[in-house]
Structure formats: structure tokens, C-alpha cells
Amino acid sequence: MSDAATLSAADLASRYARGTLSPREVTRACLDRIARLEPVLNAMAVVDAEGAMGAAAESERRWWAGRPLSPLDGVPATVKDLLNLAGHPTRRGSRATDPQPVADDSPAVVGLKAAGVVILGKTTTTEFGWKSPGDCPLHGITRNPWNTRLTPGGSSSGAGAAAAAGYGPLHIGTDAGGSIRIPASWCGIVGVKPSFGRVPQWPLGAFAQVAVAGPMTRTVEDAALMLAVMSRFDWRDPFCLPDPVPGWLDRWQNGVAGLQVAVVRRLGFHPPADEGALAAVERAARALEDAGAIVTEADPSLPDTRALFTAVWGQALKRLVDSFPEEKRALLDPPLVAMAQRTEPMDAESFLAVQAAVIETAHAMAAFHRRYDLVLCPAVPEPALPADATLIAPEEDLWQRWAPWTFTFNLSRQPAVAVPVGLDAAGRPRGVQVAAALYRDDLALAAARVIEQACAAPTLAPLG
């Protein structure tokens, strides 16, 4: 039964339908695995064993009656602690937040629950999702299942670690500059940053203009199944898209034959990438070519997205820190406070200039996708960093070590998927990123699926 926690959502649905495995058995296996591995990994902010077992029992009755709510009915999942889960506090990794339980679920959680998904609890996040090293003042350090001396990345640190450790198959992350794709890459799993507005969110956080919620899973198929049920209109989110038309994601299963793929090495600046990152892109490019795609190198000729995102990120964090009274700022992550203090306020003219350049970036990427169906590039510049490293210069780390390959696609609001290609000689996961035009989440998933099949990278860390 210990292996049941590590099965994919698609496999669980098949076994539930045949009656060879039950939601309660799987949920118990997940909870047992969490209890065994949490002292080492520290990926969970909250474990709701009672609620999960109750939801699993209800799901089991539906399967027995032949009336499951969806193929994901009874499949275990976790929720990042930037999102609301009714009956539990939303602490956002911070000692300065309200410890009282919230009354309502976030929209993405509503979508999962409507599909019958069993929520195991909440995963850790960096404080307010501000950085990529996976630690926060409230919960401490979350560690990478592949090597506990390394960080899983962030800000969806707990979700990345939980997925790679086999804490069930489905995990909700959020991504404002790479916070799904960075931990997905460093933990060797699949991470989907959907098109902006595809998955509704409420309440909106510090990065409302660029942030999304999305799936973190061990297979592309599970990510597609999860994205489909999360993409429901919710009136609370003013940026939310209408309900998608039936079959909107079906293209993800059809391969990439005939599609034009651009291997991109510039995003308005030269993002750094080590030899392993470049080798991963070359391997993924060969996989796409072998599947019939036309792969060439191209430059989308963007503004300096490094400068743009640094401004967006810095101003959002300064506003966040300044929103707390002085006595509560002492409870915040010291590097966050120090960075906010270093950030100069932006006048209205400068703010509008940044916004205009962000729109120019989105326009340039839209024009680029009139020629190219997909973009292929690294997801991160190097493998996972040490978990216990002291953070000294986050402004430089942002574009040198954390998110130089990811934040551009938040500015352009288009879908991007991180997918693993294998392990390096040191046993660290390596991956790539594929992006598609705005609202073509299906194409990004299709390319990720081809790479996944060709590379057959291990996605479950060997923790026993």
C-alpha cells in the first residue's frame, strides 16, 4: 500500500474504476508517507488527516455507486499556503499573518473539490512568495527530496518537494516570476504556468498583475487533468477568463508534428545558463525534431525584461512590506525587509513607462508566435542551490540564479511548462521550459508531453 501514494492521478482513476484500489486506501497511504518523510523534508504547512479521510470516504461511496464526479474523484492533492483552504489559516509563510482559519476556498481549490479531489493539506511557501530559496520565517527550511542539502526552489517549495517525494499526485502552486517552474525544475517534476486568467484566483496577492495558480505533478497527463478542472470561471477574480469550451485541452495529446519551435537564447538580455541547462535544451530539441517539429534558433527581440521584472518585483515587495505596521515588520524575513528598504519609490511617470514596456513585451511575444508555435529554452540557469545558503543579494540572484528564464513569460502572460529531461552526474534533476502563445496552453502541454515521453526522466525521488 505504500506504493499507492506514488501512483499518477490517471492510474488511480483507472484503478478506482476497476475497484482494485479505493480512495481511502490511497489517502491513508499518502498520509502515512507524509508522516514518515516530513521530519526530513518539511514540505507541509498543514496536514488535514481527518478532513482528507472524510473526503476520501465520500469519494469511495461515489465510485461504488458508479457516479464519480470526475476522473480525479478521490485523487489526493495539496494546496500551496498562499491560497485559501476553508477551515485552515492562510499564513503565507509569515509570522505576521492572521492565524485564524478562513471561511472560503480559493477558486482553484473550489475547482478541485468540485471534481471530488481529496485535499491532504497545505504546502509551505517562501514568505508571500517573494523568493526562490525554499525557506520562510514561519516554517523554516523545506528540503529537496533528491538531495536534502539542496533547496527544492520556490516560492512553491513545499509543492515541489511534495510532488517529488510522492505525497500524492496533484499539487497546486502559484507563479508570479517562476514560482511553479523553478521548483518543478529543481525537483524534477512537471510545472505548469497557465495563461494569465486561465485559473481564477482570490484573494489576489502582491503580484496580482502577473501571478497565476497552476498544477505541479509528476506527469504531463496529470497536469492536463488538473488544469482542466481548475479552469472554471469564478466571479471573484476580475481577470478570470470565461469557462473554456469543451475539448479546449485535447490538443495536448496530439504531438508536435509540423509545429514550428524556436530555441530562444535571448529574452531582451542574455540569461545565464550552465552547460547542463544548455545540454537539456539540446536534448529536448532533438526529441521535438524526432517527433516531427521544425526546430530553429530565433530571437523574439524583446525589451530588457530583466529590468522590467526587477522593477515590478521590487515595487510590489516594497508596497507589501510598507503595508505592515512597524512592530510587525520585525516578524518578516530580514532579507525581504532589507530589499524593500533599498528599493526607491517609483513616481507615476516611471510606473507608466514600465507598464508600457510590459505591454510592448507581450506584443512582441504575440508577434513572435505568429511565426513560431512554441518557444524552447532553459527553465533555470543551474541545478538546485544549497538549502542553507545565506541570502545576500536577492536583486542579483533574481536574474542570475533564480528566474532569468521564467519571469519574461509572466510579463507576457503566456503559458509555459517546465518538464524534466533527466538527472545530471551528481543526481540532480535537470529540465527545460516550453512556452506557447497566450491561451494556447494545449500546445505547451503537447510539447512537454513529447519531451516527457522521449526523455523518460525519473520524477519520484528515491526516498523509499
3-state secondary structure of 262: strand
* 3-state secondary structure at position 462: coil
| pLDDT value, residue 463 | 83
Model pLDDT, residue 464: 59
Catalytic residue from among 22, 59, 155, 156: 155
Question: At which residue does the C-alpha cell 525521488 appear?
Answer: 461
Residue 179 is placed in which grid cell? Answer: 514560482
Q: Which three cell numbers stand for residue 431?
A: 529540465
**H helix or E strand, kind and range, residue 182:** helix 181-187
Q: Which residues contact 249 (CB under 8 A, 6 or more apart)?
A: 224, 227, 228, 441, 442, 445
Burial class of 425 by CB neighbour count within 10 A (0 to 12, 13 to 18, 19+)? exposed
Pairwise CA distance, residues 344 & 335, whole Å: 16
Residue tagged 510590489 (cell numbers): 316
- Cα angle 199, 122, 451; round to 5: 55
> d(Cα 64, Cα 139) in Å, to the nearest integer?
39
Inter-residue contact 332 to 324 (CB < 8 Å):
yes
80 labelled catalytic: yes
Q: Is 223 helix (H, G, I), strand (E, B) or coil?
A: helix
Q: Which of 157, 179, 185, 231 is catalytic?
A: 179
Residue 179 annotated to the active site = yes
Residues of the chain short of pLDDT 70, as ranges, are 1-2, 464
Q: Which position among 8, 59, 80, 195 bears the catalytic label?
A: 80
Cut 0.85: pTM above it: yes
Assigned C-alpha cell, 1: 500500500
Measured between alpha carbons, how far is 419 from 89 in angstroms, rounded to an integer?
32
